[in-house]
Amino acid sequence: MGNLLDEKSRRLLFILTDLLIITISYLLAFYVRYETYDAKNWDSFLVVLPWVLLISTFFLSVYEVNPSRRKRFFDYMGSILVSTFSITVATMAISFFFRAFGLPRSVILLSFVFSVVLLMIWKVIFISFKKATNPEDILLICKPQDKLRLTYQIKDTFASKVNIKYAEYHTPLEDTFRAIKKSDSVILGPKDTDEKKSSIIYHAFKNKKNLYLVPSFYDLLLSKSDITPFEDTMALSVKKFGLTVDQQILKRAFDLVVSILVLPFILPFFLLGVLLIKIQEPRGSIFYSQARLGKDNKEFQILKLRTMIENAEGSTGPMLATDKDPRITKVGNFLRATRIDELPQIFNVLKGDMSIVGPRPERSFFIEQFKKDISSYQYRNTVKPGITGYAQIMGKYTTSVEDKLRFDLHYIRNFSVMFDIIIILRTVLVMVDKTKSEGVKESQTANQKTS
């Protein structure tokens, strides 16, 4: 079944539908509160509506309240709750500081309830419709070793049913071209740039197919390049990888401001973590420090709340945390799942060893292992490590080293303060998503959270 709308059009349609639902929610809230639409209330509503919709557009976009690609209801139920709550808090704050905004709190709170209910009903209807429609035909072109992993990820991502057909990069091009014509979407797995890959991309464009490309590290390193012609020959001026001096100063200022502002809010959660550790092990240590590599591979001591038994690696040496790891305490499982164990790292940020947002810091032992297999791994240490990062909001603990590295390299290449703000806001969703905190399976060698 062909796709009537491209990805951008679908996203726009979903945003507009969500904004319509939020508008209806406010109308219902006014009616329930006042039992009428008198001229005064109607005029004030029309004045504040553009601002409400502007706030809503921002948070709906940040939290991706969009079921077009997510299959499970619970995957986006959290997005709905967090986004509508954020809209409510922001609207109340603006209403408090700017009297002209003038929305009664009772109306704002009622609209929050109506928005949550109506948005969830709309998403359930959409997801049910997608499951009832004809499946989407997808052609996956990849290396044999990537086939199983990508198949699982595709089926776990698409909201609609999918029929996946396969081709490999060494498959004859004529066979691949015929398969492209019969498909709705084409997904290209990672591969170094070559002529065959270019031909496949051209044929997908020619047949107006949706195209998804898993970038190589080479692709990511060349992104954000400027055109610098040599006379009549076009050349790409590839920017140095990392942040400019101006960006480093801006990021440091942002880190200090955010750290100071959030410190009073995270203190209760920090104290809760300390209390739980002491209740479980009255004589055990509260904190855990460990040597990690930061910017330019400089070593520093990272600070966390202890989540494992004392001397967890005494007999094993450096070892990644695994799914249902017996070294993790009961309290530790809770602290890891909620990310409370990471809160002491705010002091690493204030000290200057870390940033609020950036690639997660790793131990030298694991970094050397990863660099042997992935030469591009060295690029992630061109910036300060972060408490949270793009790889953390997009992936899981079980996400492979390669996939996490792609997210980290993309973040470094596309750094902006707004990008940092979006990652911080979306980290809230990660904190309430249990699947994001599961340890690496025993058979995996992925880059996961260590003690």
Which of 394, 378, 399, 380 lies closest to 445, judged by CA? Answer: 399
Which of 197, 199, 167, 159 lies closest to 183, judged by CA? Answer: 167
CA distances, 36 to each of 28, 30, 41, 370 (Å): 10, 8, 9, 65
Which of 3, 357, 41, 446 lies closest to 208, judged by CA? Answer: 3
Residues 268 and 339 both lie in one domain: yes
pLDDT tens-digit readout, 127-158: 777 777 778 899 999 888 889 889 988 887 77
Give the pLDDT confidence score for residue 408 in this predicted structure: 96
- Domains contained in the chain, number: 3
Contact yes or no for 405/217 (Cβ under 8 A): yes
Report, as an integer, the average pLDDT of 80-108.
83
Residues 177 and 75 both lie in one domain: no
Contact yes or no for 349/255 (Cβ under 8 A): yes
- pLDDT band at 1; cut points 50, 70, 90: very low
95 assigned to some structural domain: yes
Nearest-angstrom CA–CA distance, 354 and 361:
9
Instruction: Report which of residues 328 and 407 the model is more confident about.
Output: 407
Nearest-angstrom CA–CA distance, 238 and 298:
26
Can you point out the beta strands (E) in 218-362? 226-227, 236-237, 287-293, 299-305, 355-357
Residue 401: its H or E element: helix 401-413
- pLDDT band at 434; cut points 50, 70, 90: low
The order of strands in the sheet holding 210-213 is 162-167, 136-141, 185-188, 210-213
Instruction: Show which of 199, 214, 229 is a domain's final residue.
Output: 214
Structure letter (DSSP) for residue 438: P
Domain coverage including residue 176? 136-214
Residues 208 and 171 both lie in one domain: yes
Residues forming a β-bridge with 301: 291
Q: How far apart are the first and last CA of the chain?
A: 48
CA distances, 398 to each of 105, 156, 325, 401 (Å): 43, 14, 13, 9
Report, as an integer, the average pLDDT of 210-239.
86
- pTM of the predicted structure, to 2 decimals: 0.80
Residues 140 and 124 both lie in one domain: no
316 assigned to some structural domain: yes
CA distances, 53 to each of 47, 193, 370 (Å): 11, 43, 46
- pLDDT band at 424; cut points 50, 70, 90: very high
Residues 267 and 333 both lie in one domain: yes
22 assigned to some structural domain: yes
CATH number for the domain spanning 209: value is 3.40.50.2300
Residues 190 and 257 both lie in one domain: no
Block residue for tokens 């094993």: 316
pLDDT tens-digit readout, 41-92: 677 778 788 888 999 999 988 887 765 555 566 667 888 898 999 999 998 8
Instruction: Show which of 102, 132, 162 is a domain's final residue.
Output: 132
Answer yes or no: is pLDDT of 176 > 50. yes
Give the pLDDT confidence score for residue 450 in this predicted structure: 40
Give phi and psi for 186, each to the nearest 5: -125, 130
Give the pLDDT confidence score for residue 67 in this predicted structure: 56
Give the pLDDT confidence score for residue 309 in this predicted structure: 81
2 assigned to some structural domain: no
Give the pLDDT confidence score for residue 449 in this predicted structure: 40
Residues 178 and 92 both lie in one domain: no
Residues 35 and 89 both lie in one domain: yes
429 assigned to some structural domain: yes
Give the pLDDT confidence score for residue 438 in this predicted structure: 55
Give the pLDDT confidence score for residue 66 in this predicted structure: 65
- Which three-class secondary structure state does DSSP give residue 447? coil
Nearest-angstrom CA–CA distance, 219 and 382:
18
Instruction: Show which of 97, 132, 167 is a domain's final residue.
Output: 132
pLDDT tens-digit readout, 249-292: 999 999 999 999 999 999 999 999 999 999 988 888 899 899 99
Which of 31, 9, 21 lies closest to 56, judged by CA? Answer: 21
Residues 152 and 115 both lie in one domain: no
Nearest-angstrom CA–CA distance, 209 and 228:
32
- pLDDT band at 319; cut points 50, 70, 90: low
Residues 53 and 150 both lie in one domain: no
Which of 439, 347, 328, 434 lies closest to 387, judged by CA? Answer: 347
Residues forming a β-bridge with 226: 237
Report, as an integer, the average pLDDT of 380-403.
90
Which of 329, 326, 279, 336 lies closest to 304, judged by CA? Answer: 336
Answer yes or no: is pLDDT of 327 > 70. yes
Residues 260 and 284 both lie in one domain: yes
402 assigned to some structural domain: yes
Residues 269 and 345 both lie in one domain: yes
309 assigned to some structural domain: yes
254 assigned to some structural domain: yes
